[in-house]
Structure 1
Amino acid sequence: MFAGVLLLVNGLLSVFNGIAGIAEDDVYARLGDYVFKFDVTTWGWIHLVVGILLAVVGWGILSDAGWARALGIALAAIAIVVNFLWLPYAPIWAIVSIAISTFVIWALCTDTPDPTAV
């Protein structure tokens, strides 16, 4: 349940982050020169899509769907990479999101599902 709630919250916050990036190009400021230069609108769309996927998988984990566990681990790993590349635009939020995704991976990898549960 911990991983599902974290994925759902991280996904919804990423959706809001994406909407902010799409709506206004000057919401986020870039710090210095950075190798991974994308337009803020492009980053907004990336965060929107990843956020929707995270929220759906988080809901799947809370619904105890069989497909959601492995997909949750994979999407949390993708979210870590996306937020690492997002560091120059929103460093504190990117670090928080990386930490949340790390906890999701930890929770999903260490949980042992009960085979007798229906």
Structure 2
Amino acid sequence: FKNPPGSNLSTGKMIDEMGMKGEKRGGAVVSPVHANFIVTEGEGARAADALALAEEIRERIRRERGIELEYEVELWRAGGEAVETGRAQSSNEAVNAGQPERVEPSRGETGSAKEGSEPPC
């Protein structure tokens, strides 16, 4: 997640202070090293797991701190359509909107997904 604009707040520190390091959803986990990273465990991890965990983090910070977090990554469907991330959405809405998701870093690097399959994180 991006750090909140116009402040000295660290998103990683807020996540850590809420005790979410090590929090798991399926094969995705909040990194025990840096709380602003979601990492995967094993080959069974799915993009849906990472998105569900990310949305839980966003919701908790929104509810407990009144801060709306923005993704630092861009989310794209396998067909090339961007997923709207400027508003809260359920992970089912993002993932099950027709095609599997792939998560691409915002720095222009690209990911790939085999058509018709759930891409790994």
The structure with the largest alpha-carbon Rg is 1
TM-score by length of 1: 0.36
Q: Which has the higher contact order (CA 8 A, sep 6+)?
A: 1
Higher strand proportion: 2
